[in-house]
Amino acid sequence: MRWKVANELQGAAGIEWSRQYFSAYDLSECEWITVKRGDWDGYSVKGRCHFPNGTKSGLYRLNCSVNNRPGWPGYKYQRVSPLYINEDGTWPPVPEGHIVGQWFIDETTGREWQRLYRKVPLFTEDEALTYIIAHEMYHYLRRTRQIEGKNTEIEADAFGMGVLMEFRGFK
């Protein structure tokens, strides 16, 4: 497994800490982890875990980017468990610090829910790097059955947040 890190990020504390943290796992089915800076509007981080059936090598590839354009602190809208409609047709209150997203209806059961997000501050570029690497690593670790859970964005966000909290405690 190879770390492909952009020159300007070589030696970044968030990357070095993540390398050490994830060295305890079997990364033999991962071809590479790419880490770079991007320049786009909106989010502070973005990434993608490419599964083996979509790569020429037949191995996983993780791509991670941080956006330093807006500066730090940056923010990540973390997905959390959805808000389900009450049996009486009313919505429960939105938890403090959360934002309501898209509204869904299951056509088979009629069950309704709204996506919920929580705004998470990423105080430094190193925190952003740690978070997005952990988020994408979750997809790999779950697919290779090295950790428990469901391979969903909600769980990947929670895993990323847990690793970020460890990184913050490490500093």
For residues 166 and 139, state if they share a domain: yes
For residues 64 and 107, state if they share a domain: no
* pLDDT interval class at 130 (50, 70, 90): very high
For residues 110 and 131, state if they share a domain: no
Cα end-to-end span (Å), the chain:
27
> What confidence score (pLDDT) does residue 2 get?
92
For residues 49 and 132, state if they share a domain: yes
> How far is Cα 125 from Cα 11, in angstroms, rounded to an integer?
12
Residues whose CB is less than 8 angstroms from the CB of residue 38 and which lie 6 or more positions away in sequence, other chains included: 46, 65, 66, 67
Mean pLDDT for the stretch of residues 72-78: 86
For residues 108 and 143, state if they share a domain: no
Which token pair is 157?
Answer: 């966000």
* Number of domains the chain is built from: 2
For residues 51 and 131, state if they share a domain: yes
Q: Is 130 exposed, middle or buried (0-12, 13-18, 19+ CB in 10 A)?
A: buried
For residues 30 and 106, state if they share a domain: no
Confidence check: pLDDT of 1 > 90: no
With H, G, I as helix, E, B as strand and everything else as coil, classify residue 13. helix
Mean pLDDT for the stretch of residues 135-161: 94
For residues 89 and 164, state if they share a domain: no
For residues 28 and 8, state if they share a domain: yes
Confidence check: pLDDT of 89 > 80: yes
Confidence check: pLDDT of 17 > 70: yes
For residues 7 and 65, state if they share a domain: yes
Q: Please, are residues 123 and 72 in contact by the beta-carbon 8 Å criterion?
A: yes
> What confidence score (pLDDT) does residue 41 get?
67
For residues 11 and 65, state if they share a domain: yes
Of the two residues 141 and 77, the one the predictor is more confident about is 141
Mean pLDDT for the stretch of residues 128-135: 94
- Scored b (16 or more CB within 10 A) or e, 7-24 reads eebeebbbbebbeebbee
* pLDDT interval class at 35 (50, 70, 90): very high
Confidence check: pLDDT of 33 > 80: yes
> How far is Cα 152 from Cα 49, in angstroms, rounded to an integer?
12
> What confidence score (pLDDT) does residue 170 get?
61
Confidence check: pLDDT of 40 > 90: no
> Which of 110, 28, 13, 118 has its CA nearest to residue 66?
13
Count other C-beta atoms under 10 Å from residue 160's C-beta: 24
For residues 60 and 143, state if they share a domain: yes
Mean pLDDT for the stretch of residues 140-168: 94
> What confidence score (pLDDT) does residue 42 get?
66
Confidence check: pLDDT of 171 > 70: no
Q: What is the domain extent for residue 86?
A: 76-119
> How far is Cα 132 from Cα 46, in angstroms, rounded to an integer?
7
